Structure 1
Amino acid sequence: MVRPNEEVEALLHEYADLIAITGGDAFRARAYEKAARAIGGCPADVSHLDAAALREIPGVGRSIAEKVVEYVRTGHVTEVEETRARIPAGVRQLITVPTLGPRKALALYENLHISSVDELADAIRARKLRGLKGFGQKTEANLLHGIALMRQAGERIPLSTATEAAEDIVAELSRITGCKHCAYAGSLRRMKETVGDIDVLVAAGRSAPFMDALAELPSTAEVVAHGAKKTSVRTLTGVQVDLRVVRPDSWGAGLQYFTGSKAHNIRTRTIAAHLGLKLSEYGLSETGSGRRVASRSEDEVYARLGLPWIPPTLREDRGEIEAGLRGELPEVVTERDVRGDLHTHTDLTDGLAPLEEMVAAAAERGYAYYAVTDHAPDLRMQRMTDEKILAQRERVRSLDGRYHGMRLLHGAELNIGPEGEVDWPDGFLAGFDLCVASVHSHFTLGRRAMTRRIVRACENPRVNVIGHPTTRLIGRRPGIDADLDEVFAACARTGTALEINSQPDRLDLGDEDILRARSHGARFAVDSDAHSVPQLALLRYGIGTAQRGWLTPDDVINTWPLRRLRRFLRKDRAG
């Protein structure tokens, strides 16, 4: 089910957009955006908090707290609904198109009466936008690409959304008497960045109790199909869930079959056929007699095929079968291997929690070290100054080692400018333990200029990690146009790590880019980019992406002991 916090977060984000569309104060819009993020990341259920308790949440003032209370009590907010009524629904839909901001959406409506995404696509193809200020050929191309991204994303579910829904369903079904095993499978188990639907598998003697239970869950909005072998439902959030029940002695074969991928399964069935066997969701059996020779566990099924157990994240037919047959399957990195997080934020900039809370939460995760990397001054909306960052450094130094012996690193997230320059001169940067450098603006530079920009950042001896390297936002913003192979080679040459950003709307680098970067000899940092305490746990999604890129602990710098990590961070200044 959708948490009240998520409902309120969505409402406040919408109101921030409405303020922007109507030409309201930009700082007020940002205040609602920050409050939305804070409420979304708050561990307490906001429906149980009064106005005073709500104001304890960072970024939530009196006016916002009153709106939250009104929403929880009545299901709506009068001020929001009045503002909605002033803006055509089509304009609100238009601002969901990547690269199209609120003011341009309003201009399209007022000048061309465009009030839907389909009308916008038609108008671009008919070249109707070219007479409007700010709408040139490049803008048209970007908008068409954004529309395509949005439509594609509309058919897919973010990994984190699917995981949360699947884990709730698995927990509910696991409680039913007779359940021997229960797990989610499909592309979700393979940790693809988006999934089409959720596959859940149960091992039990009787299927009816589980099929009935799924149909009756509070999170189920619609029963699409209800049968003895398969039941499909759609949740309140629009996610389709397909449930299958197999006998306990077929659990391993069923889990292997329904995890996929299709290409991987074709390969395993081909191997089975060459061995005179048949592989299905019921088991691995002899072709002639039908006698089952393996089915209870995935390990058993793979072993009978002459293969080691293959991690689900590798099952894409990208060489895992051949590597398994040669005995060269990698021991992929796991969350247990991670010794620290190298990219996190506090409320000094756009984070939601104070330094002490973030440090304490990181220590509870068992980290050996932890880096604080608030934004540098060129991201002007964060209002960073030299004095603020130096004061934070003193606080970081005073907390070093005080939380379960965890060592603290003081860093910054720098901004890579159009020419590859970064915030602060070299002398000032020398005081940081590490620097993450990221592109936050000028996303539409030409390919050569963009490539040169990032390579120059890699060549900066103070830059240790390139943050969210392609800048993509899944389904909302395409990655930058750069020669990534040149960037990857530069990272390998200069000793600069590439980040795998664990934020579910980024997962940047993606798995295919990781595979390419790894072939160049680059190193990686899997970071949460956490802006609140709950977001530290997002690291699991970055680790899944790293696994899909075949990374081992040796490839990932924040699995290394602190001494080895510090040597890497010195780059060519080692001595």
Structure 2
Amino acid sequence: MTRSNEDIAALLQEYADLIAITGGDAFKARAYEKAARAIGGHPVDVATLDAKGLQEIPNVGRSIADKIREYLETGQIALIEEVRASIPAGVRELMAIPALGPKKALALYQELEVSSVDGLLEAIHQERLRDLRGFGQKTEEKILHGIELMQKAGGRILLSAAMDVADQVVADLSTLDGCVACTYAGSLRRMRETIGDIDILVAAEHSTPFMDAFRELPYTAEVIAHGAKKTSIRTTKGLQVDLRVLPPDSWGAGLQYFTGSKAHNIRVREMAVRHRLKLSEYGLFHAKSGRKVTSRREEDIYARLGLPWIPPTLREDRGEIAAGLRDELPELLTERDIRGDLHTHTDLTDGLAPLEEMVAAAAQRGYAYYAVTDHAPDLVMQRMTDEKMLAQRERVRELDRKHRGMRLLHGTELNIGPEGEVDWPAEFLAGFDVCVASVHSHFTQSRDQLTRRLIRACENPYVAVIGHPTTRRIGKRPGIDADFDAVYAACARTGTALEVNGHPERLDLGDEEILRAKRHGVKFAVDTDAHSVPDLAHMRYGVGTAQRAWLTEDDVINAWPLQRLRRFLREGRECSGG
């Protein structure tokens, strides 16, 4: 399950929101927000820390440390429970809508007695919001879009949240006697960006010990169904997890069947029929005699049908069967292929860890090189200056090769302004090893404006990578409306890579956009956008997204040796006219 850090960070962030709702001290609300971020990004599980250790976390003072200890000992914080009770549940429901903050949610409740999403939709259709101060037609449009985003997400959760649960369940069940194999399947194994529920498979001769243990796991809040072949629980986080126990001899067939996707499985079963066979979760059988042909290994299932083993991330019926028959499946990028991370932050701007800690953690991951790319000055809240950046560069040079020989690149994340301009002049940008440029504001410009803005950034000779290109936040904010085919063509022309941002809320570019961009001949950078040491592990999700888009080591610039990467960066400047 998730570390205590995530639970506590969410609780403190909720308290900050509650303070804002009730018109409390803005400074106090900001203090709790900062503490929430610091705890969420702290590399050590706070449950293992005493009061002194908690207060050593940045932005955690004695009062907040006491509340954390209270939560760890009792499972709640009395003060937060008290404030929660004073806020109508309907207001908290409204706060979950993207684009609707706590103050507006409270205003809707107090002025219009709106206390549900349905009630809000009715009020918007009756144009009742337009009479409220701070509301108008544009606000209505943003709220409607936010509701649409929330409804599309439904009960689905981020890939990372599901993976945390699945990893823990697999670890717990794998320790039981008689476990031959245990893993997760379904959309999680295919690395979909959001997950509805989790499928866990166990190979064992006897199912009862596993079903009983599953029901008794400490994070089981409710047993939805219980049987010899399948048991379903709901976790304390509200996520449904289904466990199936298969005979070891049926493991391969069951794993193939329960991984999906449905469309992929239909194609595979159609092939089986053409071979006069029948495929189920128990094995591949002769259609006429019913005799089992094979079942123990996934590879054997595919091989009997004339196919190579197809990686789970490709099983979406997007041409993988035809490619397999032609022996043209790509050798997909893996996490082992990643030689470095090209988009990361430190506490010099909005990161949570100092440079030295981020560098050491990157070296622990076995990287050959690592880029530090703190924000540039146009994001005013980061308070960046030329002097600060040059001082960091000097320190980066001092640390170069000091951790397992890892090479350090000094970079920056530039802000792409409304007209496509970036933060520093050419002579200053020339001193960076790598520049990532990203859109951070003015998301509602026209399609033409946004397209020109991104293309101008691509044409800047010092911009090597366009960061989180669509700016989307899954379930919270849609991507910007630009002509991305024109942007992709510009990237290919100028030698500018597009980022596959591994942060679970972004996964930007997503797999379908990567496939479009690849057709234009674009190269990619799979990065984490890490703001803390734990964030470096998000590379797992960036790579999974890249795999879903059929990317190989050759497509990804940070899977290349440093010499080839430097040549790409140099040629990009020359290609763009630098």
TM-score, length-scaled by structure 2: 0.96
Structure-2 change in CA distance of 1:216 and 1:324 (3 Å): same
Aligned to 1:217: 217
Match of 1:336 in 2: 336
The separation in 2 between residues aligned to 1:206 and 1:73, in whole angstroms, is: 38
Which deviates more from structure 2 when the two are superposed, residues 42-51 or residues 305-314?
42-51
The offset of 1:137, in angstroms, is: 2.8
User: What is the DSSP-based 3-state SS (H/G/I as helix, E as strand, rest coil) of the residue aligned with 1:470?
Assistant: coil
Q: 2:417 maps to what in 1?
A: 417
Q: Decide whether aligned partners of structure 1 residues 27 and 388 sit closer, same or farther in structure 2, where only a CA change above 3 A counts.
A: farther
Instruction: Report the CA distance between 1:563 and its aligned residue.
Output: 1.0
Q: How many residues align?
A: 575
Alpha-carbon distance change, 560 to 30 in structure 1, aligned in 2, over 3 angstroms:
farther
Contact 2:462/2:573 (CA < 8 Å) preserved in 1? no
| SS of alignment partner, residue 539 of structure 2 | helix
Equivalent position SS for 2:345: coil
**Identity across the alignment (%):** 73
Q: Match for residue 93 of structure 1? A: 93
Could you tell me which residue of structure 1 aligns to residue 51 of structure 2? 51
- Alpha-carbon contact 2:378-2:415 (below 8 Å) kept: yes
After TM superposition, give the deviation of residue 257 of structure 1 in Å: 0.6
1:373-431 Cα deviation digits (max 9, x unpaired): 11111212221111111111110010011111100001111111111111111111111
What secondary structure does 2:387 align onto? helix
Q: Does 1:31 align with 2:31?
A: yes
Rounded to whole Å, the distance in 2 between the matches of 1:23 and 1:449 is 38
Say whether the 8 Å CA contact 2:314–2:320 is kept in structure 1. Answer: yes
Map Cα deviations across residues 423-449 of structure 1 (whole Å, 9 max, x no partner): 111111111111111111111112111
- Ranges in structure 2 where 5+ consecutive residues have no aligned partner: none
Q: 1:275 to 1:338 in 2, by over 3 A?
A: same
Offset, 1:23: 4.2
CA distance in 2, matches of 1:552, 1:189: 19
Specify the alignment match of 2:573 in structure 1. 572
Contact in 1 for aligned 2:257/2:281 (Cα 8 Å): yes
1:2·1:237 contact (CA, 8 Å) conserved in 2?
no
Which moved further from structure 2: 546-555 or 25-34?
A: 25-34
Change (3 A) 1:35 1:255: same
Superposition map of 1:258-407 within 5 A:
258-407=258-407
Contact 1:332 1:551 in 2 (8 A): yes
Shift of 1:88: 3.3
1:58·1:353 contact (CA, 8 Å) conserved in 2? no
1:27 Cα shift?
5.0
Aligned counterpart, 2:537: 537
**Comparing 73-82 with 466-475, which one deviates more in the overlay?**
73-82
| CA displacement, residues 505-555 of structure 1 (integer Å, 9 cap, x when unaligned) | 111111111111111111111101111111111100110000001101111
Aligned partner of 2:167 in structure 1 is 167
Tell me which amino acid in the other structure corresponds to 2:387: E
1:330 is paired with a residue whose SS is coil
For residues 37-96 of structure 1, what are the alpha-carbon distances to aligned partners after superposition, in whole Å with 9 as ceiling and x for unaligned? 221222333234233211211222333223323333444445434544554333232222
How far apart are the structure 1 equivalents of 2:516 and 2:170? 35
Checking the alignment, whether the CA contact within 8 Å between 1:332 and 1:552 is kept in structure 2 is yes
SS at match of 2:352: coil
Deviations 1:189-238 (A, max 9, x none): 00000111111111111111111111111111111111111111111111
Aligned to 1:141: 141
Spell out, residue by residue over 1:4-57, the C-alpha distance to the aligned partner (whole angstroms, 9 max, x if none).
Answer: 222211111112222333445555433322321221222333234233211211
Instruction: Tell me how large the CA RMSD over aligned residues is.
Output: 1.7
State the shift of 1:128 in Å: 1.4
Residues 1:508 and 2:511 are matched in the alignment:
no
Alignment check: 8 A CA contact 2:180 2:202 kept: yes
Shift of 1:162: 0.9
- Rounded to whole Å, the distance in 2 between the matches of 1:553 and 1:217 is 40
AA aligned opposite 1:379: L
Which residue in 2 is equivalent to 1:122?
122
2:167 and 2:298 map into 1 onto residues whose CA distance is: 21
Q: Output the CA distance in 2 between the equivalents of 1:75 and 1:250.
A: 42
Secondary structure of the 2:472 match is coil
Give the Cα separation in 2 of the matches to 1:379 and 1:80: 33
Q: Deviations over 1:98-128 (max 9, x none)?
A: 1112332233233322222222122112221
Query: CA 1:23–1:380 in 2, change beyond 3 Å: closer, same or farther?
Result: farther
The residue aligned with 1:16 is: 16
CA–CA separation in structure 1 for the residues paired with 2:291 and 2:329: 30
SS at match of 2:36: helix
Partner of 1:229: 229
